[in-house]
């Protein structure tokens, strides 16, 4: 997108618009009973920590009963807690304890597929006339017992598996252990509305909806077309454009019905969607509907964009043009499916990691931090014999899998990492506990942890950073700068060269170099490589004329288009 973008600001009472969400991969957060696995009681034990960090809401990875072929995303029972993680009573306690600290709780919701060990699917296997047969997607073979279509699984291979005794194929867009549900069946929709209400009734504040855009598939099972030169890497790796098994138009009706349920409660519940293979931000924006579908939807294009000023700015500007207030973007750099951003974006460089944190926490939208982001935690090398991720086990060494971003939270530089008992082997190995642990960083004034906590506190203190409009600033080719609200600017030097910028006046509220906190900028701003600052206006200060040879600050006053 050429030119600059300014979005509209807004006043809001919706907690997520000014809040910070923190993703917890429960198995790896804190082990309360010394079995090497994190659990719900472990989350409860760390709520004070999260409150000190400034978290407004936590998103829990799947906690329902699972066969754990895909670690929670292959559900056996939607109405109970996996015994490895705790009990319903533990969950109720977590809700009460979190709410007493003004922390919201969001849980993972997995509606696209179940485990093949789920009682519904086990019943479906008994025959074509079974009660739950049409709760799943079955199809007759093509001539020569070929699959019904050319659709491919996101985890590799074909997306159909033949069932000899009933002479049909069932669809699995992920593992063969994860059978896709038939969302054209009203009984499936009714059951999942019941599941939503069950958890909302227990106090859940919202759902992160797994692969929401995959629910509806083409009912004629037409073949997907081949890839094009301009398709993204993941689409090219898939080997086809998923036109007929992803993002079908009938999906909007389902999302609207869920929004009706979410807003039937006195305090509206949050629907946060996670898509798959969706890189068109205007299509993503369509799932917000007319403020009657999702409230938030993750932006895959952002997380897959290189850590370069021009590239990230372009993605944000396109997002700003598509997701217009009162709709709201959501930004994240790491999650359980992606490599951690201190490795992927920052290449292990703490300066870049802090710059990425400053970016995430100051854009217009809801920031989502993944556990460990606050200490700049990098990927952990997991040897192949210790891999748990089915994708990594299948594709190693071509692809090391997702376990490198799922290892236990390093709470302390001691045996057991402060995560579990020193004599217990955790379910996945630790990384460098000396360099990356909460205990070590807590004590250092200039640590990434203290930087993150102070940046979150600044975000809470400045209305501009919570709900103020976004406006791109033209500064220099390798500098990304923007204005939030009326009096706040963010300037990031995303290069290995120092930058001297004219046309800025203000006070440094926080810098990635903490020695600059409180500094008054009167004529020009000098930034070291990979350095960033948040500036606020100094009352009465004015910007003087600058030499024409210097880069001048330009602010676009144009409004982004409303849909």
Calpha distance 164→501 (Å, rounded): 69
The catalytic position among 90, 210, 320, 373 is: 210
Q: Hey, which residues does 146 pair with through a beta bridge?
A: 142
Catalytic (active site) residue 210: yes
To which residue do tokens 């409004």 refer?
559
Q: How many residues does the chain have?
A: 563
Cβ within 8 Å of residue 299, ≥6 positions away: 281, 284, 315, 319, 329, 330, 331
Single out the residue of 313, 306, 421, 418 nearest to residue 372, CA to CA.
Answer: 418
Calpha distance 153→172 (Å, rounded): 7
Helix/strand/coil (H/E/C) assignment for every residue in 135-157: HECEECCECCCECCCCCECCCCC
Catalytic (active site) residue 97: no
Single out the residue of 406, 315, 440 nearest to residue 365, CA to CA.
Answer: 315
3 state DSSP class of 209: strand
Six token digits for residue 367: 């920031």
- Is the separation of the CB atoms in 196 and 106 below 8 Å? no
To which residue do tokens 């460089």 refer?
349
The catalytic position among 4, 31, 74, 274 is: 274
Calpha distance 412→434 (Å, rounded): 8
- Is the separation of the CB atoms in 436 and 408 below 8 Å? no
Calpha distance 387→404 (Å, rounded): 9
Calpha distance 19→2 (Å, rounded): 30
Cβ within 8 Å of residue 393, ≥6 positions away: 384, 387, 401
Single out the residue of 101, 108, 109, 105 nearest to residue 21, CA to CA.
Answer: 105
Calpha distance 486→50 (Å, rounded): 30
3 state DSSP class of 424: coil
Q: 10 Å Cβ neighbour count for 389?
A: 23
What are the two backbone dihedrals, phi and then psi, of residue 58, each rounded to the nearest 5 degrees? -115, 140
Single out the residue of 243, 240, 244, 317 nearest to residue 282, CA to CA.
Answer: 317
Six token digits for residue 363: 């854009």
Six token digits for residue 461: 């203190």
Look at strands 113-115 and 499-502 and give their pairing.
Answer: unpaired
CA angle centred on 43, ends 457 and 366, rounded to 5°: 40
Residues annotated as catalytic are 210, 274
């Amino acid at each position: 997108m050429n030119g600059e973008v300014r979005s509209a600001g807004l006043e809001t009472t919706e907690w997520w618009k000014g809040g910070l969400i923190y993703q917890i991969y429960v198995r790896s957060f804190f082990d309360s009973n010394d079995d090497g696995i994190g659990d719900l009681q472990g989350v409860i034990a760390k709520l004070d920590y999260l409150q000190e960090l400034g978290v407004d809401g936590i998103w829990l990875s799947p906690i329902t009963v699972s066969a754990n072929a895909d670690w929670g995303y292959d559900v056996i029972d939607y109405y109970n807690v996996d015994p490895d993680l705790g009990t319903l009573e533990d969950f109720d306690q977590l809700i009460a304890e979190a709410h007493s600290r003004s922390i919201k709780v969001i849980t993972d919701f997995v509606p696209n597929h179940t485990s093949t060990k789920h009682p519904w699917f086990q019943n479906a296997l008994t025959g074509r006339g079974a009660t739950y047969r049409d709760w799943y997607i079955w199809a007759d073979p093509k001539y020569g017992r070929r699959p019904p279509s050319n659709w491919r699984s996101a985890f590799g291979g074909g997306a159909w598996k033949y069932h000899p005794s009933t002479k049909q194929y069932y669809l699995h867009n992920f593992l063969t252990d994860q059978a896709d549900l038939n969302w054209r069946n009203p009984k499936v929709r009714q059951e999942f509305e019941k599941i939503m209400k069950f958890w909302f009734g227990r106090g859940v504040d919202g759902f992160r909806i797994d692969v929401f855009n995959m629910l509806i598939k083409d009912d004629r099972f037409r073949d997907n077309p081949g890839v094009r030169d301009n398709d993204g890497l993941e689409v090219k790796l898939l080997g086809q454009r998923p036109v007929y098994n992803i993002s079908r138009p009938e999906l909007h009706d389902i999302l609207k019905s869920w929004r009706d349920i979410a807003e039937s409660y006195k305090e509206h519940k949050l629907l946060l969607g996670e898509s798959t293979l969706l890189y068109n931000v205007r299509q993503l924006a369509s799932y917000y509907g007319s403020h009657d579908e999702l409230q938030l939807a993750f932006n895959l294009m952002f997380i897959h964009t290189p850590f370069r000023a021009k590239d990230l700015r372009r993605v944000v500007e396109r997002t700003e043009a598509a997701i217009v207030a009162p709709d709201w973007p959501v930004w994240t750099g790491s999650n359980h499916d992606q490599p951690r951003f201190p490795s992927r974006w920052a290449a292990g460089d703490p300066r870049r990691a802090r710059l990425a944190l400053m970016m995430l926490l100051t854009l217009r939208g809801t920031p989502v931090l993944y556990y460990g982001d606050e200490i700049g935690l990098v990927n952990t090398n997991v040897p192949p014999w210790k891999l748990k991720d089915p994708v990594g086990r299948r594709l190693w060494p071509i692809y090391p899998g997702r376990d490198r971003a799922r290892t236990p939270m390093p709470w302390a530089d001691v045996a057991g990492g402060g995560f579990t008992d020193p004599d217990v082997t955790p379910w996945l190995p630790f990384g460098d506990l000396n360099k990356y642990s909460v205990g070590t960083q807590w004590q250092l004034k200039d640590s990434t942890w203290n930087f993150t906590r102070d940046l979150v506190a600044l975000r809470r203190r400045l209305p501009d950073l919570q709900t103020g409009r976004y406006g791109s600033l033209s500064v220099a080719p390798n500098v990304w700068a923007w204005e939030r609200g009326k009096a706040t600017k963010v300037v990031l030097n995303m290069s290995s060269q120092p930058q001297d910028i004219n046309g800025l006046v203000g006070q440094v509220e926080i810098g990635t170099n903490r020695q600059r906190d409180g500094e008054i900028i009167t004529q020009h701003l000098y930034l070291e490589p990979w350095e960033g600052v948040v500036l606020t206006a100094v009352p009465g200060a004015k910007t003087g004329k600058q030499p024409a040879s210097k880069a001048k600050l330009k602010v676009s006053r144009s409004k982004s288009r409303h849909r």
